[in-house]
Amino acid sequence: MNNTEEIVSLCKRRGIIFPGSDVYGGMAGTWDFGPLGVAIKKKIMDEWWNFWVEKRDDIYGIDAAILMNPRTWVASGHTATFSDPLVECGNCHGRFRADHLGDFSEHVTRQELMDAAAKCPTCHQCDWGEVRQFNMMFETHVGAVKNDTSVAYLRPETAQGIFTNYKNVVDSIYPDIPFGLAQQGKAFRNEISPRDFILRDRECSQMEIEYFVHPDTWEENFEKLLDETHYFLTDVMKLPKSKLHDLEVPAEDRAHYSKRTVDIEFDYPNGREELMGIAYRSDFDLQNIMKASGKNVEYRDKNTKETFVPHVIEPSIGVERLMFAVLSAAYDEDEIDGSRRVVLRLPENLAPFRFCVSPLLKNKSELVEKAKFVYDKLREKYGNVTWDDSGNIGKRYRKQDEIGTPKCVVIDFDTLEDGTVTVRDRDTAKQTRIKIEEL
């Protein structure tokens, strides 16, 4: 069983994920993606977009601005309710999210903390102040003058950008209902105590769909989207079914807008945590927009001519949470020829490179020339191919194992004679001879 520290170490060592602003001492809750991390992250996002948008005729993409009119967050309820319980230690004055100090709900009180003898993570004392709600939206100012009228927020979710564009989409392309709008983009949450690597951070990428349905059909559409989500996680992202768990969220723990929510949890190295959620938001958001803006957002059915405010089902997932799940499911250690090996068993569709091409010896020009020929052909055919001629062949294999490259192609002296190459498999470490044209 792997742990978070080993994955974090691998990610930094191999250029997948670095601590944010690392050269200046870092900044809590921020992470930077290196060359290989960007490749994996982009493949995850592309696979999601391809599955939910490009292969369907009922879901359309949008890309809304990060900065939105502040009235958006008043109407959505974020200004009043988007908060976490904050508590301060009376001894060291550290501030923490109260419900993370033990097995507590989001409505935990100071007395509950004291009765449970919850200790401060920093000084290990039990001396707590009153629990208060802390709004997690990042506040900024727009324009040349900084005053109350210039206040704006970095969006805490991508969903509201979809809802504010619902009427624009209906007026412009008038899709048949049910239909969905999908968006990928940055979201910002001023987490009190970011933790667990990229699982809980202050800046993240979200992938969300708002699926608009007739009020009478929300249950059947909810179940359909839930089934399709599981298919995406297991058959496209290749996450093991045994690590995925559906949690029917009870009413007292659901978001204020949700009438039903299913959290899909994943067995991360640090324990079972939420991977994503599917929420039935009823007509909460569109009704709020209609009240706050005065604009009519009713939908007129093309066939029945019935007019109604659509209800909404929202599958929402954080890219970083999904990437951490993919990395932790792929991370493995085994033994080859008596030595320990770290291997990232990424599915081929998510691996940063499909092949690594190497000459057996880099000081033999005829091998290098032939290897370059094979490299160019494979890049032309597949795109994501890398080159490695550093160190001995064994070290190259270990490096490619750690970054998840499924196949290593080695050009040796036999290649010059018969046109075959050695193809070494990442997962089994077995080597086979294949003709160049069969790659």
Give DSSP secondary structure letters for 57-111. Answer: SSEEE----SB--THHHHHHTHHHH-EEEEEEBTTT--EEEGGGTTT--TT--HH
Alpha-carbon distance of 415 to 358, in angstroms, equals 12
Annotated domain spans of the chain: 4-69+176-327, 353-438
Identity of residue 311 = H
Cα dihedral 18, 19, 24, 28, rounded to 10, equals 170
Residue 362: in which H helix or E strand, if any?
A: none
- CATH tag, 353-438: 3.40.50.800
Q: Do domains 4-69+176-327 and 353-438 have the same CATH topology?
A: no
Per-residue pLDDT at 2: 57
Strand 311-318 with 385-387, pairing? unpaired
State the Cα–Cα distance between residues 93 and 97, nearest whole angstrom: 13
- Is the four-CA dihedral 62, 65, 68, 74 of positive or negative sign? positive
- For residues 400 and 385, is the Cβ–Cβ distance under 8 A? no
How much is the pLDDT for 255? 77
Q: What is the pTM of this model?
A: 0.89
pLDDT confidence of residue 405: 97
**Helix, coil or strand: residue 33:** strand
Alpha-carbon distance of 225 to 208, in angstroms, equals 12
Helix (H, G, I), strand (E, B), or coil: what is residue 29? coil
CA distance 336 to 357: 21
- Among 433, 381, 379, smallest CA distance to 409 is for 433
Give CA–CA dist 53/167, Å, rounded: 19
Which CA distances in Å does 6 have to 10, 12, 323? Answer: 6, 10, 15
d(CA 134, CA 84) in angstroms, rounded, equals: 5
* CA angle (289 as vertex; 286, 295 as ends), nearest 5: 105
pLDDT tens for the chain, residues 1 to 439: 458 899 999 999 999 999 999 999 989 889 999 999 999 999 999 999 999 999 999 999 999 999 999 899 888 888 877 778 889 999 998 888 898 899 898 889 999 999 999 999 999 999 999 998 887 888 899 988 888 788 898 999 999 999 999 999 999 999 999 999 999 999 998 887 787 899 888 999 999 999 999 999 999 999 999 999 999 999 999 999 999 999 999 988 887 778 899 999 999 998 999 999 999 999 999 999 999 999 999 999 998 999 999 999 999 999 999 999 999 999 999 998 888 999 999 999 999 999 999 999 999 999 999 999 999 999 999 999 999 999 899 999 999 999 999 999 999 999 999 999 999 999 999 999 999 999 8
Rounded (10°) CA dihedral 75, 79, 80, 84: 140
Question: Under CATH, which number does the domain 4-69+176-327 receive?
Answer: 3.30.930.10
b/e 287-324 (16+ beta carbons within 10 angstroms → b): ebbbeeeeeebebeeeeeeeeebbbbbbbbbbbbbbbb
Q: pLDDT value at position 145?
A: 84
**Placement of tokens 């990610």 in the chain:** 11
